[in-house]
Structures are given as structure tokens and as C-alpha cells.
């Protein structure tokens, strides 16, 4: 008997056996077609601050410090120990252009030069790194994008990379509106500002630069990404970070929790428990358009390809207390493989690890048959609503063929009497399997 919190899905898919000595043998036709019907809740990893939940708390009158205390219990506001960061804003380029609307300064190994306003091309060949552009009375532009602070150009692996050295809060000006809608209430934006500031400082990588300008750290768009409300949220929380036992907290955030956040150990297997990254209720997530999502149709063949596990024939979902899928045991032609829930989610491009899986399987009946001859259509349906059979005569359109009535195991048998060659498929809501054909000869 399955353990509580574990859903086992058995898929009747064949083993593919190679035939020695047969050249260019055609791929065997699967004995059945299977489609997964995946539905779930939330968007993102689920750990820490849920942005739609923060929106709801702000609309209900909560201040940013109370919002943060809810999503990161046991933390406290403190002062950031760092005032400037270095952000990798360009890499792998053969040439770069640096421009300014006002005079600026260029530092090279040969000394410092004052340059008039204009656009300057920086080639990878002949460059004696580093090259540092310092702004005058206008922000510098790198390949057409404005940045506050200075720009340092170096060579890496034969190409150019550019690093923007900028004040921590000026950096956040270009982050907040890229991570949260700038027309949301100020208290929600302030909670995002503190979370983003803390996340940045807890994630400094060291070396030639501290942060990436994309989702490897946080999305940073420079001056073009700034909005008045984003700057206001940063200024209102200037220098504030979240601390836990005197250290900067790792303040993960994401879009939507689905109604409850996840413990960090629910998502990243092998992670140590973190006192402030625990599962908490998120009642205002109902505002999110991603609170519920699906159904998403994924064929067993496509799932096998995405996971690199051909001949996929079964899934077992193992859940954490927060209802996230912590682990998926995949049965395939080569045996059973355990896949972490977040890896499974990324491979199948699901919105979150809080999901359920239904199954529609239709076996391929023997054919050809005589016109009007009785044919048994067999299959299995699990975790779906109102499964029904559809049929399509050769050259026609799909027509309803009646509900299927599975037994307790999900298996069903129904009878058809096709007069001409006919395709059959299973459907539940908007999701249908591939067709199987009964040829009438």
C-alpha cells in the first residue's frame, strides 16, 4: 500500500527490444499511448517571500517589516555592511561601445585621459586591460544601455567582459521593477527592496565581480529599468537588510506560492534546515493568476526525452509536508531513477513543484478487423475528471464516444464496432491522448 503523501502512477508502456542482425529496422510502434495531465499551484521554487502574497498583505494594510517577518520568521532588520557592488553586465563580446552625453574619464594602464562626450569603440584585439570608464555629469552607456557608476572592461578567455561598479542602492534602482511590478503598493515594493538587497549581499561571489545582471543573481537593467516607485522603495529602506543571528539572511523570493510557502529542504534535496526558510501559510496568494495552473498535457515519450530516460513507464511522486513534490521516482526502460522534484519541474517546464499528475493511457488494439466486428478498447485513467473516449472515422472529425468507467485500479475496457478505419483517443477536459487506429479491412 502506498505511503500517505505518495501517488503511484503505473503506465502500460512496452520495453523496446532491439533485434540483432536486422539493418535499418523501423522503430517499433508503442503498444499504447499515454498522456500525463499535470496541474498545480504557484509559480517559482516556493522558498521565502511570495510576491503576490506580499501584494495581498500590503493591500490589507501590512507594512513591509511585518511582511518580511511573515515570510522570513526569526529575522530582524539591520544595516548593510557593503555600500557598493560589482555587476557583470556584459561577457563574451568581441567589441564593446562606451558612450556618454557629457565628458568623462578613461583610466588605462597608460594613465588617465579626459574624453569629450561621444561614443567610443573598445575592440578585444590590442586592448591592454583593464580599462575603466568613470562618469562625469552623465551616466555612462555600454552598448546603448545606461548605467550608474563606473564600467570596467577586461579580457576573459579571449573576449571582453564589462563590470559595472555601482552603489548598492543605485544597483537596486535597476533591480526592483524587473523583479516586481512597479505599480504595486509601496509597502510591497519596500519588502522586495529589502529582500533584494539582502539576497544580493548574501550571494556575493567574489573574484572579478560580485553579481550577475540576470537570473543567476537578480535581473538588473540599469537606468532604463528604473521607475519612480522603485527608487522610492529603495530610498525608503536605504541600507536595510534582513539579519539572522547577526548574519545576512539568504532571502529567496519568487512570484507565487500557491497558498503555502515551502521549507528549503522541500525544494533543494540535501539542503540543511534554515530557521527562517520554513513553510508558512500564504493566504493572499489567491490574488495570483498562477495560484492554480493547468492542466498541462505531456506525453510519456516527451517526458522521457526531457528527463533523458527513454521508455518511461511509471512515476511515483513523493511529497514534502508543504505538499511540494520533493522527489519523483521514474520507472523507465533502464530501471527506476530518483529525480529531485525541482529538477523534474525544470525538465518538464512546470511552474512549480506543487503539482499532481493524472494519466490517460489507451492501448493499441489489434487490427485490421472486419467491418462491424467487435473490438475491445483497453486503457487506464488515473487522477483525471470525466475521462471519455472520442472517435474519428477516416476523413472525418472527432466525435464523442461516451464516458469510460474505470475500476478501482484505473483500468477500463470498452467495446467498439467500427464500420470503417477509425481513430480513437482519450480526453479529459482540454487534454487528449494521441490517437490509436483500428484499421478495417
Q: Rounded to whole angstroms, how far apart are CA atoms 91 and 268? A: 29
User: Cα-Cα-Cα-Cα dihedral of 144, 146, 151, 157, to 10°?
Assistant: -40
Which residues make Cβ contacts (< 8 Å) with residue 216, sequence separation at least 6? none
Instruction: Report d(CA 427, CA 425) in Å as an integer.
Output: 7
pLDDT in tens, the chain (441 residues): 443 333 333 333 332 233 344 444 444 566 889 999 999 999 999 999 999 999 999 999 999 999 999 999 999 999 999 999 999 999 999 999 999 999 999 998 888 999 999 999 998 776 777 899 999 999 999 999 999 999 999 988 888 999 999 999 999 999 999 999 999 999 999 999 999 999 999 999 988 999 999 999 999 999 999 999 999 999 999 999 999 999 999 999 999 999 999 999 999 988 999 999 999 999 999 999 999 999 999 999 999 999 999 888 888 999 999 999 999 999 888 889 999 999 999 999 999 999 999 999 999 998 899 999 999 999 999 999 999 999 999 778 999 988 899 998 999 999 999 999 999 999 999 999 999 999 998
- Give, rounded to a whole angstrom, the gap between the first and last alpha carbons of the chain: 45
Q: How far apart are CA 283 and CA 157, in angstroms?
A: 49
Sequence-ordered list of residues with C-beta below 8 angstroms from that of 308, at least 6 positions apart, any chain: none
Q: From the CB of residue 430, how many other CB atoms can be counted at a distance below 10 Å? A: 10
Distances (CA, A) of 233 to 6, 198, 229: 43, 14, 6
229 alpha-carbon distance from chain centroid: 27
- Burial of 344 per CB tally in 10 Å (0-12, 13-18, 19+): buried
Can you read off the three cell numbers belonging to residue 49? 517571500
Task: Name the residue ranges covered by the structural domains of the chain.
Answer: 49-77+174-210+219-286, 84-168, 364-438
CATH superfamily of 364-438: Immunoglobulins (2.60.40.10)
What does the block give as the cell for 424? 480513437
Q: How far is CA 302 from CA 30, 127, 269, in A?
A: 14, 48, 25
Q: Which three cell numbers stand for residue 35?
A: 498522456
Strand partners, 356: 39
Amino acid at each position: 500500500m502506498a505511503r500517505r503523501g505518495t501517488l503511484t502512477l503505473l503506465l502500460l508502456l512496452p520495453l523496446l527490444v532491439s533485434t540483432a542482425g536486422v539493418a535499418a529496422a523501423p522503430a517499433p510502434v508503442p503498444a499504447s499511448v499515454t498522456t500525463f495531465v499535470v496541474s498545480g499551484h504557484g509559480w517559482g521554487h516556493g522558498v521565502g517571500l511570495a510576491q503576490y502574497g506580499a501584494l495581498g498583505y500590503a493591500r490589507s494594510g501590512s507594512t513591509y517589516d511585518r511582511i518580511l517577518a511573515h515570510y522570513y520568521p526569526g529575522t530582524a532588520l539591520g544595516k548593510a555592511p557593503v555600500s557598493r557592488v560589482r555587476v557583470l553586465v556584459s561577457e563574451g563580446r568581441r567589441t564593446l561601445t562606451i558612450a556618454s552625453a557629457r565628458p568623462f574619464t578613461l583610466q588605462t594602464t597608460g594613465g588617465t585621459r579626459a574624453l569629450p562626450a561621444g561614443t567610443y569603440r573598445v575592440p578585444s584585439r590590442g586592448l591592454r586591460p583593464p580599462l575603466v570608464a568613470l562618469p562625469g555629469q552623465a551616466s555612462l552607456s555600454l552598448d546603448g544601455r545606461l548605467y550608474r557608476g563606473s564600467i570596467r572592461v577586461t579580457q576573459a578567455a579571449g573576449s571582453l567582459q564589462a563590470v559595472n561598479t555601482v552603489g548598492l542602492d543605485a544597483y537596486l534602482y535597476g533591480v526592483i521593477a524587473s523583479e516586481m511590478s512597479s505599480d504595486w503598493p509601496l509597502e510591497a515594493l519596500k519588502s522586495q527592496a529589502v529582500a533584494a538587497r539582502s539576497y544580493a549581499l548574501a550571494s556575493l561571489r567574489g573574484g572579478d565581480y560580485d553579481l550577475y545582471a540576470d537570473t543567476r543573481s537578480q535581473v538588473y537593467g540599469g537606468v532604463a529599468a528604473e521607475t519612480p516607485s522603485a527608487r522610492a522603495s529603495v530610498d525608503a529602506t536605504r541600507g536595510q537588510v534582513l539579519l539572522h543571528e547577526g548574519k545576512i539572511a539568504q532571502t529567496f523570493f519568487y512570484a507565487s506560492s500557491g497558498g503555502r510557502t515551502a521549507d528549503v529542504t522541500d525544494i533543494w534535496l540535501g539542503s540543511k534546515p534554515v530557521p527562517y526558510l520554513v513553510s508558512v501559510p500564504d493566504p493572499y496568494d489567491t490574488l495570483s493568476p498562477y495560484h492554480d495552473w493547468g492542466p498541462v498535457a505531456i506525453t510519456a515519450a516527451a517526458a522521457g526525452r526531457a528527463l533523458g530516460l527513454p521508455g518511461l513507464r511509471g512515476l511515483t511522486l513523493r511529497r514534502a509536508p508543504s505538499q511540494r513534490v520533493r522527489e519523483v521516482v521514474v520507472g523507465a526502460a533502464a530501471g527506476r531513477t530518483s529525480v529531485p522534484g525541482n529538477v523534474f519541474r525544470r525538465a518538464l517546464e512546470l511552474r512549480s513543484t506543487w503539482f499532481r499528475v493524472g494519466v490517460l493511457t489507451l492501448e493499441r488494439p489489434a487490427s485490421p478487423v472486419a467491418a462491424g466486428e467487435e473490438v475491445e478498447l483497453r486503457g487506464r485513467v488515473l487522477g483525471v475528471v470525466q475521462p471519455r473516449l472520442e472517435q474519428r472515422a477516416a476523413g472525418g472529425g472527432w466525435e464523442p464516444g461516451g464516458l469510460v468507467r474505470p475500476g478501482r485500479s484505473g483500468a477500463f475496457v470498452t467495446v467498439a464496432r467500427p464500420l470503417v478505419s477509425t481513430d480513437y483517443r482519450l480526453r479529459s477536459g482540454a487534454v487528449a491522448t494521441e490517437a490509436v487506429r483500428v484499421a478495417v479491412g
